[in-house]
Structure 1
Amino acid sequence: MKYLIVGGVAGGATTAARLRRVDEKAEIIMFEKGPHISYANCGLPYYIGGVIKEREKLLVQTPESFGSRFNIDIRVFSMVTSINPDKKEVTVQSMKNGETYTETYDKLVLSPGASPVKPPIPGIDLPNIFTLRNVEDTDKIKSFVDDTTPRTAVVVGAGFIGLEMAENLHHRGVKVSVVEAAPQVMNMMDSEVAAPLHHHFKEKGVGLFLKDAVKEFKKVGDVIEVVLSSGKIIQADFIILSIGVKPDTTLAREAGLKIGETGGVWVDEYLQTSVKDVYAVGDSIEFPHPISGKPTIAFLAGPANRQGRILADNMVYGHNRKYKGSIGTAIAKVFDMTAGITGMTHRGLKAEGIKHDCTIVHAGSHAGYYPGAMQMMLKISFDPKSGRLYGGQVIGYKGVDKRLDLLATVIKNNGTIYDLQEIEHAYAPPFSSAKDPVNQAGYNAENIIKGLFKPLSPFKFDKRIKKDVFVLDVRTPEEFSIDAIEDAVNIELDKIRENLDQIPKDKKIMIYCGVGLRGYVAARILKQHGFDEVYNLSGGLKVYKQAMSEQSNILFHTHIEQKNDEKPSMPKIDVKSMAVDACGLQCPGPILKLKESIDAIEYGERLEVKATDPGFFNDVASWCKVTGHRLVSRENNAGEITAVIEKFRKDENNSTLPKSDADHKTMVVFSDDMDRALASFVIANGAASMGKKVTMFFTFWGLNVIKDVNRPKVKKDMMGNMFDKMMPGHAGKLKLSNMNMGGMGRRMMKLRMKDKNVDALETMIQQAKESGINMIACQMSMDIMGVQKEELIEGVNIGGVANYLEEAEQSNLNLFI
């Protein structure tokens, strides 16, 4: 029997090795158009980043060693250019001298893999713009980084490879920005699961430009300018394209093989194509998803290797082994965090019309009382009747892979949330908890199925109709004072029963706490006291705040080398009284321990607190603002957050009191007159250009100034639609306060501004965003006038009077326009 294999990486190499192990007498020829076979594709970013030191470690087998061990005729630099199924022969071209020849086969295996997507963007072929797919690409990038010591880089695309490249370049000391056209990184994940990664970018000082596509690449001097669709321009020394990959089906198409719905090569359950004795494996094939039944492509090494083994057995022993498909289990290290996915997400299930429920769990990587525990978030999707597990997503610092593997095993075996409950894991305090996070996810899901509480996603919570809803915060008053949702009423969990008369029974009750656990307990209390419409916010305030906040991290790194460009280290601080270890504690544990400890030291002394709750990084800053103590420093090192706080006396006017920020300017923008809007942004941009901190609070008619010109169509009530029709749609439609003359005055003003080289209002608004001006839209005004968050320009924060007053308190200039 003579086997020809096209492609020598992953699926092709595995098929060849298995063929030899089960058929010693077969003739096996493997063609590879490049110089390498069986290399560690997934390790390429880590070699560029210097984590993997030796290039040879990427080459699992050389053509010589592989050929010798398995007695296989390996022909590198050999590209198969055509297939003749009738004659059962292929045409091969030498990549060295261009000569061609034919080779016959009994059975043919196609494993060409995938090729990088390279859209026709102007300038995409400029020097120093790289793609990463194979060892040759890696060598080019590594040589460039080693030889030129670049200062800045832009990674286009925020999938697994893009994020791994961003991490490794950051590890090398390169200032990195990531550009992604989608509204989140890892677009295969649900939005609230990806949100912690966006915040991690901010902690690491890595730029993140979401919902912004590349429009053009320009060579300007020694750098490349990346022009985005928003008009932003990022300068970089080099570019990594990680926009995605597509199955390499050129050979199959030209041979007349059936191409599936997704653009991959169609194969049956035995991995045979539409042509007899021609098979295919790896990134180029499509196969029905085990859950949805719809054709999908899995660009993953694991499935390709499994396919190779199954296929070899089928070709030798007959079609007996069926390939069951891939549920897409994948994981990535993103700086200090790890994110993984398996099965189908809420977004994917919704798109396929599959009825499901979801739940979110926050838990520690191991027992909280044992040192080093780190928080993780799990989200699972499941059938609301049978409990069949559809998908799982995990994000955290430690133990993510272990939980993801458990979820994947249950999903792959058509298991249920009840199987999660029954998982018997290895438990000791350094490794897990008696009730593992996957067990807890199963328990939560059962509670939902039994109707013990109704889960509420952060996005549905954000779209609540406030007049119909009573928002109940069941955290402690101390937590509530630090950070809360504007329309919430605070009744802490332990006092719910004695305050039932304060909770209306004629409204939906939407409960939240820090991470969801106390909210569930409160929901159970209320349900058993006659409250019917009771909902618990999934993941609590932590997930809601992360999901609703600004996801991008707009940074413009300079490409000019600076003398001292190292990452600033934590200052050497003499902590006079004590260090507090709050590691392993979940919210509100770290804050409560901080409050308790600060009371035990004297004014002017400092306290160092260590915590592993991811929310503590922002919580400690908010706590210091509210209490008046000074946050000296904070740092997130591999998930362990260290903060130093100096105790201040709030009630005395002495030198230790925090001073008002003399560089802070605030203004209320009440009007939507074009001239008044222009005045607002002229003053704001002028102040920002002088290094001042600026906050603009848009209320009532002022909201029209910050509407997006490309705002989506959103569902509104009757009054909202009436307001919408009567108000300007965006800044370009604003009228003059005087001499508008049916719009003629506005046009005259725009022409006059252009003639005098004065920036248009829309340009001024963009400049304000790029200058970091804090633009706040008044939530109350939005509710009254029927304006929704989706209608506003990107970068605007939603807040209330309290948010504005907090800024105004620190301002020495406050304007009303």
Structure 2
Amino acid sequence: MKYIIVGGVAGGATTAARLRRVDEEAEIIMCEKGPHISYANCGLPYYIGGVIKERDKLLVQTPESFGSRFNIDVRIHTEVKDIDATNKKVKIYNSRTGETYYETYNKLVLSPGASPMRPPIPGIDSPNIFTLRNVQDTDRIKAFVDDNEPHSAIVIGAGFIGLEMAENLHRRGVKVTVVEAAEQVMNMMDPEMAAQLHQHFKEMEVALYLDDAVKEFTPDGHQLKVSLGSGKKLKADFVILSIGVKPDTRLAQKAGIETGERGGIIVNEYLETSVKDIYAVGDGIEFPHPVTGKPSLAFLAGPANKQGRILADNMVYGNLRKYQGSIGTAIAKVFDKTAGITGLSDKALEAAGLPYQSTIVNAGSHAGYYPGAMQMVLKVSFHPETGRLYGGQVVGYKGVDKRLDMLAAVIKKGGDIYDLQELEHAYAPPFSSAKDPVNQAGFNAENIIKGLFKPLSPYKFHSREKENTFVLDVRTPEEFQLDHLDDATNIEVDSIRDNLDRIPKDKKIYIYCGVGLRGYVAARILRQKGFNEVYNLSGGLKVCKDAIAEQSNRISYHEELYVHESEPTEHAKNHFNVKTLEVDACGLQCPGPILKLKEDIAKIQPGERMRVLATDAGFYKDVESWCNVTGNRLVARSRENGEIRAIIEKAQPTEGVKVMNQGGNKTLIVFSDDLDKALASFVIANGAASMGKKVTMFFTFWGLNVIKKQEKPRVKKEFTVSMLNKLMPTSAKKLKLSNMNMGGIGSKMMRQRMKAKNVDALERMIDKAAEMGINMIACQMSMDIMGVTKEELLDPVNIGGVANYLEEAEQSNVNLFV
């Protein structure tokens, strides 16, 4: 028996190896048009990023080793050009020698893979634009990065490969911008799950432009200018094009082999094509989805490997094994987070016309009382009556892969949400909880099916009709004071039964808590007390706030700001093993972690240390400022997987509070957005800066309106915040006088007088302040309260907390409040 296999890598190489293991006497020829027949495709981004150090580790088998071990005639640089199915022969071309010849076969296997899409965008053939699909592509990108040491890169496309490339380039110190035409990254996921990743881009200070397509690439010196549909123009040293792939079916179509509506080669359950004795595996095939039964593609290494083994057995032993199809289980590391999906998302089920329901679980990666537990968000979709499990999505820091595998096993076997409840998992406090998040998802789903509560998605909650709904916050009063929705009434869950008279029965009751658990308890109480229209916010306030926040991170990089954060030294790392006071500030937002430091520093003696663990992104800078102001010593600091760790040594008694030498520095708190007061602030600040003084301006509350961009990106906000913002000036151009404004006439007269007297307009004063290096800080806490995002502020403005300002004030002899 003579087999010819067209294409290597996962599908073709696996088929060839299995064929030899089950048929020692067969003649097997493998034709691969490239130089490599078996390589770790999924590892390519990590070699570019330096995680995988040695290139040879990407090569699973060389042509020589593979041919020798399995006695296979491996022909690289060899492309099959045509198939003559009637006479069962193929036309072969050797690109090295230029030779063309024919080979006959008994059975032919097609493993053509997929090819990157390159739309006809002007300038797309520029030399600084790369795609990543094989080892040759990897070598080109790696050589460019190693040789040119680029400062900036733009990744076009936010699928798995695009995000992995963004992470690995970021790891190498490259300033990365990701551009995606869709409204979210990882478009196969539901938007509220992708939102967890969008907010992580902000934490990592990586630019993200969503809902914005590339219109043109233009050379600009040694860089490329990328023009977007929104009108925004970005610059970078090079571009990675990762907008998707399509099945490579050119050879199959020339041979008259049937292809399907998704563009792949149609195969039956035995992996046979429409032409006798011709089979196909890998990225190039189209097969019914196990859940929907509709044609689907799976650009994944796992299914391709499994197909190769099944096909080899069927060709040798007859059609005994059926291929069941792929549910599309996929996972990716996105900076410090991990995100994965298996089965179908809500929007995929909607498109397929299948009835569904879903629920979101916020849970820890392991038992909360065991140190190091990290939050994850898990979502499952299921049939609203039978409970059949349709899909699962997980985003978090630890344990994401474990939960995704558990969900995939149930979906692939056609299981239901009751199977999730019964899944037996390996439990010990360092690894899980007795009731695993996957079990909890099953319990939630059963409660929904039985009508014990009605789930409410973040988007339906956000778009509520306020006149017909009563929003109930069931968290503690302390939590409510720190952060709550404007139209919410706070009744703690434990007090619900004593406050039923405060809850109207003629409105829909929308309940929320932090993550959804207390909301469910409250919903059950109310339902059994005669309240019928009771809904619980799925995933709680945490998921909701991430989902309705601005999703893009439209920041621009400036060359002078390129700063590569160094890793902690080994000496610093060793300090994290010192036995000191443990302070857990995880979950606290500014100024919470700083207040926690102040409280706990009193618990230790001078010379002793405390180790602080926090998850507020601003804490990384604030802890240094706090130590500088208080005189305590910052021994070490690191940031990893969403956690910020700091070692602080308490000052000796003789040191007291550190008093800095007050030089000629100046600080201003800009609280007002009156035009005359803003002018005064910048006149003083620019005057001091022109005399060589270091100047810091801290903009808080109404003062934030002074430093807003005139042309701002679209930012989605909840209704109350949008209404508040409409009542405020949109930029410095729209500021009013504190007196004699007269409906705007006064401010216009003021601007005319300034022009007549050759006094710069406020907007020019702000530009000058940036040019002279004045440190303009926007208060993060005020931004949160006022509903102002970083994207709306001028590019030179930094974001900081109270500690940043106080550190500067300590070194100033003038501190003004305007």
Other structure's SS at 2:644 match: strand
Sort the Cα spacing of 1:795 and 1:202 in 2 relative to 1 into closer, same or farther, 3 A: closer
The reply on whether 1:429 has 2:429 as its aligned counterpart is yes
- What is the CA distance between 1:793 and its match in structure 2? 13
- What is the CA distance between 1:641 and its match in structure 2? 3.4
CA distance in 1, matches of 2:469, 2:563: 56
Other structure's SS at 1:12 match: helix
- What is the CA distance between 1:90 and its match in structure 2? 1.2
The reply on whether 1:637 has 2:640 as its aligned counterpart is yes
Task: Tell me the amino acid that sits aligned with residue 555 of structure 1.
Answer: I
CA distance in 1, matches of 2:611, 2:545: 23
Other structure's SS at 2:391 match: strand
More divergent stretch after superposition (26-35 vs 214-223): 214-223
- What is the CA distance between 1:366 and its match in structure 2? 1.4
The reply on whether 1:407 has 2:407 as its aligned counterpart is yes
Task: Tell me the amino acid that sits aligned with residue 498 of structure 1.
Answer: D
1:448-503 Cα deviation digits (max 9, x unpaired): 11111111110110000011111111111111111111211111122222111111
In the TM superposition, 1:410-809 aligns within 5 A as 410-559=410-559, 566=566, 579-582=581-584, 598=599, 601=602, 610-611=612-613, 616-617=616-617, 636-642=639-645
Sort the Cα spacing of 1:295 and 1:619 in 2 relative to 1 into closer, same or farther, 3 A: farther
Contact 1:361/1:379, CA 8 A, preserved across alignment: yes
Task: Tell me the amino acid that sits aligned with residue 206 of structure 1.
Answer: V
- What is the CA distance between 1:587 and its match in structure 2? 8.6
Other structure's SS at 2:358 match: strand
- What is the CA distance between 1:319 and its match in structure 2? 1.9
CA distance in 2, matches of 1:600, 1:530: 50
- What is the CA distance between 1:774 and its match in structure 2? 11
Sort the Cα spacing of 1:643 and 1:564 in 2 relative to 1 into closer, same or farther, 3 A: closer
Contact 2:290/2:324, CA 8 A, preserved across alignment: yes
Contact 1:156/1:240, CA 8 A, preserved across alignment: yes
In the TM superposition, 1:274-353 aligns within 5 A as 274-353=274-353
Sort the Cα spacing of 1:82 and 1:697 in 2 relative to 1 into closer, same or farther, 3 A: farther
Contact 2:472/2:512, CA 8 A, preserved across alignment: yes
CA distance in 2, matches of 1:597, 1:540: 30
1:548-604 Cα deviation digits (max 9, x unpaired): 112222232234696876479999999xx9844438x8899x979976982783999
Residue 108 of structure 1: aligned partner: 108
CA distance in 1, matches of 2:307, 2:119: 30
Other structure's SS at 2:60 match: coil
The reply on whether 1:132 has 2:135 as its aligned counterpart is no
More divergent stretch after superposition (226-235 vs 184-193): 226-235
Other structure's SS at 1:10 match: helix
Sort the Cα spacing of 1:560 and 1:90 in 2 relative to 1 into closer, same or farther, 3 A: farther
The reply on whether 1:372 has 2:404 as its aligned counterpart is no
1:708-751 Cα deviation digits (max 9, x unpaired): 9x999xxx9xxxxxxxxxxxxx99xx9xxx9xxxxxxxxxxxxx
Task: Tell me the amino acid that sits aligned with residue 640 of structure 1.
Answer: E
Residue 219 of structure 2: aligned partner: 219
CA distance in 2, matches of 1:476, 1:425: 33
Gapped regions of structure 1 (runs ≥ 5)? 624-628, 648-653, 671-678, 699-704, 717-729, 739-757, 782-788, 798-805
Sort the Cα spacing of 1:512 and 1:814 in 2 relative to 1 into closer, same or farther, 3 A: farther
Contact 2:701/2:783, CA 8 A, preserved across alignment: no
Residue 255 of structure 1: aligned partner: 255
Residue 268 of structure 1: aligned partner: 268
CA distance in 2, matches of 1:532, 1:86: 70
Task: Tell me the amino acid that sits aligned with residue 484 of structure 2.
Answer: A
Task: Tell me the amino acid that sits aligned with residue 638 of structure 1.
Answer: N
CA distance in 1, matches of 2:521, 2:365: 23
CA distance in 2, matches of 1:307, 1:422: 30
- What is the CA distance between 1:25 and its match in structure 2? 1.5
CA distance in 1, matches of 2:265, 2:506: 57
- What is the CA distance between 1:696 and its match in structure 2? 10
Other structure's SS at 2:38 match: coil
- What is the CA distance between 1:98 and its match in structure 2? 2.3
- What is the CA distance between 1:667 and its match in structure 2? 7.6
Query: Could you tell me the TM-score, scaled by structure 1's length?
Result: 0.78
Sort the Cα spacing of 1:595 and 1:402 in 2 relative to 1 into closer, same or farther, 3 A: same
Task: Tell me the amino acid that sits aligned with residue 601 of structure 1.
Answer: A
Contact 1:346/1:381, CA 8 A, preserved across alignment: yes
Identity %: 62
Contact 1:775/1:795, CA 8 A, preserved across alignment: no
Task: Tell me the amino acid that sits aligned with residue 418 of structure 2.
Answer: Y
CA distance in 1, matches of 2:817, 2:548: 28
Residue 382 of structure 2: aligned partner: 382
CA distance in 2, matches of 1:473, 1:484: 8
CA distance in 2, matches of 1:814, 1:256: 79
Gapped regions of structure 2 (runs ≥ 5)? 624-628, 651-656, 660-665, 690-694, 704-709, 720-729, 735-741, 743-760, 771-775, 794-801, 807-814
Equivalenced residues, count: 747
The reply on whether 1:200 has 2:200 as its aligned counterpart is yes
Residue 651 of structure 1: aligned partner: none
Other structure's SS at 1:19 match: helix
The reply on whether 1:7 has 2:10 as its aligned counterpart is no
CA distance in 1, matches of 2:536, 2:40: 45
Contact 2:456/2:537, CA 8 A, preserved across alignment: yes
Sort the Cα spacing of 1:496 and 1:347 in 2 relative to 1 into closer, same or farther, 3 A: same
Other structure's SS at 1:65 match: helix
Sort the Cα spacing of 1:350 and 1:597 in 2 relative to 1 into closer, same or farther, 3 A: farther
Contact 1:16/1:28, CA 8 A, preserved across alignment: yes
The reply on whether 1:59 has 2:62 as its aligned counterpart is no
- What is the CA distance between 1:233 and its match in structure 2? 2.2
Query: Could you tell me the TM-score, scaled by structure 2's length?
Result: 0.78
- What is the CA distance between 1:148 and its match in structure 2? 1.8
